[in-house]
Amino acid sequence: MGEFTMKDTIILAIETSCDETAAAIIRNGTEIISNVVASQIESQKRFGGVVPEIASRHHVEQITIVIEEALEKANMQPSDLTAVAVTEGPGLVGALLIGINAAKAFAFVHNLPIIGVHHIAGHIYANALVQPMQFPLLALVVSGGHTELVLMKEHGSFEVIGETRDDAAGEAYDKVARVLNMPYPGGPHIDRLAHEADEAVEFPRAWLEDSYDFSFSGLKSAVINYKHNMDQRGEEINPAHVARGFQESVVEVLTTKTLRAAKEYNVKQVIAAGGVSANKGLRTSLEQVFEQEGIAFTVPPLKLCTDNAAMIGAAASYMYEAGVRGELSMNGVPGKELKSW
């Protein structure tokens, strides 16, 4: 990134796009000074998924506590900060609005610039907190709300070369987990079960021909139909076999398409980002193929895969260097497109 000869760039970042209230302080885009996440999983699991109204209510309860904790853990004062960053979208609009309005109010009182960050750019830049990014770079972003292949030719340049046409990968995990009567969030349970299974139920793969797009709703339906047919015949399903079959389908499609794109665009580095990149099955598969291909592959540590504010701060540091600034009229943009800065 740019030189920090004059003075460190210290960003307070806030993220409230879904069900985590998070704040972090990042130095020079690479160093996490503090990283606080207040999770709502305990509350939301009652409903088997994230209820937007409940998420918004929890964010209001947590927001100043989380920001205060981030400053205290960093042993910093507002006067030490260079800018305030916040997730502008995509996400749940009511949830986004809490982080955005808190960020604007804080920035206003302390006379700091404000930077609105794209949530997916944040997930990608979580990797900058692990090691420097090498371009051209291919990012596989997989989470409860996203499944995208993003090509980056340099910092701040994003080209979405493939995305899901229906369900996100994480969404499919959650839905299949529900079919298998597992608690929310389902991903980690399926991942664990899949590893324990000695055999797999065969499920289809959606290749969508030469496209880099994804589709997971057919796979989800195949799992539901399988269970339905077994129920009709009065037979018990083996959840582990179903979990392994489902996971194998998801992982094979994600890995194959990512590899093909990495070769076509001749990238120097492939990164995985987003909540589903915490999945062991996916990590292992990607690590193996890219080691064979001799292409650098990185995936952030688990706590930087799920939603957090450190990643927003990392992306914002590069945006700050590039001169990107937001306004006090910033609004939540639930369907925000990933654009270059």
Partner 1 sequence: MIWLGIETSNAPLSIAVVKDGQVLIEIVQNLKLTHSVTVMPTIQELLEKVNLKPSDIDGIAVSEGPGSYTGLRIGVTVAKTIAWSLKKPVVGVSSLKVLAANAQLFNGIICSLFDARRQNVYAASYTENLSETVIEEQHISIDELLEKLKEMSKPVMFVGLDVAIFKEKIVECLGELAYFAPTSLQLPRASKLIELVQNEPLPSVEEIHSFVPKYHRIAQAEAEWIKEQKRGNQ
Shortest distance (Å) from residue 91 CB to partner 1: 14
Residue 235 within binding range of partner 1, rule CB under 8 A: no
Residue 61 within binding range of partner 1, rule CB under 8 A: yes
Identity at 121, one-letter amino acid code: A
| Terminal-to-terminal C-alpha distance of the chain | 14
| Max Cα distance, the chain (Å) | 72
Measured in degrees and rounded to the nearest 5, phi and psi for residue 118 equal: -75, 130
Cα-based distances in Å from 101 to 28, 64, 87: 25, 11, 11
Q: Which of 41, 65, 302, 322 binds partner 1 (CB under 8 A)?
A: 65
Shortest distance (Å) from residue 175 CB to partner 1: 18
What character string, x for contact with partner 1 (CB under 8 A) and - otherwise, covers 15-54?
-------------------------------xx---x-xx
Nearer to partner 1, 67 or 305 (CB): 67
| Whole-number Å distance between alpha carbons of 89 and 97 | 10
CA 210 to centroid of chain Cα atoms: 25
Query: Under a CB-based contact definition with an 8 Å cutoff, are residues 293 and 263 in contact?
Result: yes
Shortest distance (Å) from residue 332 CB to partner 1: 6
Which 86-125 residues touch partner 1, going by CB under 8 A? 94, 97-98, 100-102, 104-106, 108-111
Nearer to partner 1, 118 or 146 (CB): 118
Shortest distance (Å) from residue 134 CB to partner 1: 38
Name residue, tokens 């990012």.
Answer: 139
Q: Which of 78, 136, 188, 334 binds partner 1 (CB under 8 A)?
A: 78
Residue 234 has, within 13 A of its CA and on its CB side, a CA count of: 0
Shortest distance (Å) from residue 107 CB to partner 1: 9
Find, among 120, 97, 122, 102, the residue nearest to 331 by Cα: 97
Nearer to partner 1, 80 or 321 (CB): 80
Query: Under a CB-based contact definition with an 8 Å cutoff, are residues 298 and 199 in contact?
Result: no
The neighbouring-strand residues paired with 26 are: 11, 32
Nearer to partner 1, 82 or 277 (CB): 82
Residue 268 within binding range of partner 1, rule CB under 8 A: no
Which 319-338 residues touch partner 1, going by CB under 8 A? 327-332
Residue 68 within binding range of partner 1, rule CB under 8 A: yes
| Whole-number Å distance between alpha carbons of 276 and 333 | 23
Shortest distance (Å) from residue 160 CB to partner 1: 27
Find, among 292, 296, 200, 209, the residue nearest to 251 by Cα: 200
Residue 184 within binding range of partner 1, rule CB under 8 A: no
Nearer to partner 1, 187 or 326 (CB): 326
Number of residues that bind partner 1 (CB under 8 A): 34
Shortest distance (Å) from residue 271 CB to partner 1: 32
Q: Which stretch binds partner 1 (CB under 8 A): 55-63, 190-198, 225-233, 273-281?
A: 55-63
Residue 339 has, within 13 A of its CA and on its CB side, a CA count of: 8
The neighbouring-strand residues paired with 163 are: 148
Nearer to partner 1, 85 or 314 (CB): 85
Nearer to partner 1, 62 or 249 (CB): 62
Q: How many CB atoms lie within 10 A of CB 3?
A: 7
SS3 assignment, position 209: coil
| Whole-number Å distance between alpha carbons of 141 and 276 | 8
The site for partner 1 (CB under 8 A) is made up of 46-47, 51, 53-54, 56-57, 60-61, 63-65, 67-68, 78, 94, 97-98, 100-102, 104-106, 108-111, 327-332
